[in-house]
Amino acid sequence: MFMVSIFDGSMVTVLPINNIQKMLLVIERREWGNMHGFIKAIYLSDETLTDKVSLWPALQQQIKSTNAVFKDSTHRKTLLVRSTTKMERLRLKERGLEN
């Protein structure tokens, strides 16, 4: 059995397999391939969830939260690249005026 800990930011979607009562699942990650296993516990910053009734909703919430962080970081990277590109264009334009 696998213990699922969610805090690495690599989750995309969760695909339940067979009977959800058994908590058998496949987690499709952005990197390192799929992860297969059973949910035994979810570790949050201040608590550990092991109650089978609360595991699935908590996992869904963690996925939403992780996806929001990923989306935000992707947006920030895009803004940084745009700013860097503009600065480089200005630098090259300035150098052209010096020659």
Specify the pTM: 0.57
Which tokens in the block code for residue 69?
Answer: 């962080």
Give pLDDT tens digits for 25-72. 777 877 888 877 777 888 878 888 888 778 888 888 888 888 888 889
Residue partners of 84: CB distance under 8 A and separation at least 6: none
